[in-house]
């Protein structure tokens, strides 16, 4: 073995992505001490994406004061990588459901303004590329709060500016973009989106996701009607049919606003992360990729990070092994094409013990070492 790529998701609640990669590297070097191990921290575009890309690309984490979904001050973190040219933003840091207590959840009143404020901060720091994960939202405002923060105004029939909330969608008659932030010109925006829901309708943002955010049945109908109305305004103003964009309904319509109004490119979260890390180039000359996550099961085969790593590596003809704190066999997982899927636990264990960081790291190192011994023995017979 001359070159191995360690590209694992985090073992949530136990080890971060880069911690897993370091344990993999130690396991490899216990057998192949001269093997080059390229460590990459990965995520699927949701929680952990900022830290993964900051770790992989040697960036920095930025703290900025913005507004939460109910317009209260909150400190949000995002990353800057690529020598200051690229920002990595998780919308949930400013506009996420975990920021609200159970009784505060109401997509009629929540807003994505804080997400827009994070974008403004990044643009004013000189970033010309924004990578945005839009999972975990508390909102259904069609992205109007985000647009408002960027200087666009949603106007009613009398020319009055409306706040960027779900309730205000039904009153929007026009969009005034004359005050849009100058730094938006020429910026590249990539959105991590793993759903294909349209902007409105039975499978749209309001009907599918708003109930999870506190919407009652009447609210769902009102929000859906508002999104439908806003889509018409967007098409009249920008000539783009937001309803035809797969994933436009993600994050309560934020995906649609980013794509239709700001020209964002939508892609699966893991693909966005792999593209940002230059994974395709790293695969050249690699003998093996080792990936994984805390629990490897049928869900792994449905677009999660290890599955995305596998897809990219198979295109380059590089075999992939997956490891997990727990492995649940399934037909979907067996049919994915991994060269092997291995649990790291040496025997029965309590969950608390299995998730202890030092224990988990030692188990990863030992499992990888055993795999390398096997690989060495096979190679010596050829």
Same domain, 228 and 335: no
Token pair listed for 316: 């380059």
Same domain, 239 and 315: no
Contact 215, 167 (CB under 8 A): no
Same domain, 77 and 200: yes
Percentage of the chain modeled with pLDDT above 70: 99
Token pair listed for 374: 């096997």
Could you tell me which residues come within 8 angstroms of residue 47 by beta carbon, excluding any fewer than 6 positions away?
90, 92, 135, 136
Same domain, 69 and 179: yes
- For residue 95, tell me if it sits in a domain: yes
Same domain, 176 and 114: yes
- For residue 281, tell me if it sits in a domain: no
Closest among 230, 327, 257 to 116, alpha carbons compared:
257
User: What pLDDT does residue 9 have?
Assistant: 94
CATH number at residue 135: 3.90.1510.10
What is the domain extent for residue 120?
Answer: 49-269
Confidence check: pLDDT of 379 > 80:
no
Q: Whole-angstrom Cα distance, residue 205 to residue 199?
A: 6
Provide the pLDDT confidence category of residue 336 given band limits of 50, 70 and 90: confident
Q: Per-residue pLDDT tens for 66-89?
A: 999 999 999 999 999 999 999 999
User: What pLDDT does residue 376 have?
Assistant: 86
Mean pLDDT of 44-64: 92
Q: Per-residue pLDDT tens for 210-235?
A: 999 999 999 999 999 999 999 999 99
- For residue 278, tell me if it sits in a domain: no
Same domain, 84 and 212: yes
Confidence check: pLDDT of 303 > 80:
no
Domain count, the chain: 2
User: What pLDDT does residue 381 have?
Assistant: 66
User: What pLDDT does residue 382 have?
Assistant: 59
Across-strand partners of 191? 132, 266
Same domain, 305 and 191: no
Confidence check: pLDDT of 142 > 80:
yes
Provide the pLDDT confidence category of residue 380 given band limits of 50, 70 and 90: low
Same domain, 188 and 234: yes
Same domain, 75 and 113: yes
Same domain, 33 and 77: no
CATH number at residue 376: 3.40.50.10350
Q: How far is CA 84 from CA 60, 118, 266, 311, in A?
A: 9, 15, 22, 30
């Amino acid at each position: 073995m001359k070159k191995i790529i360690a590209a694992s998701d985090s073992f949530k609640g136990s080890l971060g992505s880069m911690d897993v990669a370091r344990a993999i590297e130690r396991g490899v070097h216990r057998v192949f001490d001269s093997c080059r191990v390229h460590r990459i921290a990965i995520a699927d575009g949701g929680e952990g994406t900022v830290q993964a890309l900051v770790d992989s690309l040697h960036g920095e984490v930025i703290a900025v004061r913005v507004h939460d979904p109910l317009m209260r001050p909150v400190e949000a973190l995002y990353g800057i990588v690529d020598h200051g040219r690229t920002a990595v933003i998780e919308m949930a840091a400013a506009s996420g459901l975990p920021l609200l207590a159970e009784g505060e959840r109401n997509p009629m009143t929540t807003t994505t303004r804080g997400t827009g404020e994070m974008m403004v901060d990044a643009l004013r720091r000189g970033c010309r590329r924004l990578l945005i994960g839009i999972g975990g939202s508390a909102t259904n405002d069609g992205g109007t709060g985000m647009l408002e923060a960027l200087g666009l105004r949603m106007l009613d029939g009398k020319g009055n500016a409306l706040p960027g909330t779900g309730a205000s969608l039904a009153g929007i008659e026009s969009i005034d973009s004359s005050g849009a932030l100058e730094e938006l010109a020429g910026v590249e925006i990539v959105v991590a989106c793993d759903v294909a829901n349209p902007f409105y309708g039975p499978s749209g943002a309001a009907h599918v996701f708003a109930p999870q955010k506190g919407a009652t049945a009447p609210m769902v109908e009102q929000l859906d009607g508002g999104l439908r109305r806003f889509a018409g305004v967007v098409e009249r103003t920008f000539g783009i049919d937001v309803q035809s964009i797969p994933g436009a309904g993600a994050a309560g319509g934020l995906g649609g606003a980013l794509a239709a109004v700001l020209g964002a490119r939508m892609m699966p979260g893991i693909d966005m992360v792999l593209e940002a890390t230059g994974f395709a180039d790293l695969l050249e000359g690699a003998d093996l990729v080792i990936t994984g996550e805390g629990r490897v099961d049928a869900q792994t085969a449905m677009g999660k990070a290890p599955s995305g790593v596998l897809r990219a590596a198979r295109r380059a003809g590089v075999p992939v092994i997956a490891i997990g704190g727990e492995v649940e066999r399934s037909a979907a997982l067996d049919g994915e094409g991994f060269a092997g899927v291995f649990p790291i636990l040496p025997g029965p264990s309590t969950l608390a013990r299995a998730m202890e960081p030092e224990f988990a790291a030692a188990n990863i190192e030992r499992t990888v070492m055993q795999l390398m011994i096997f690989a060495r023995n096979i190679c010596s017979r050829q």
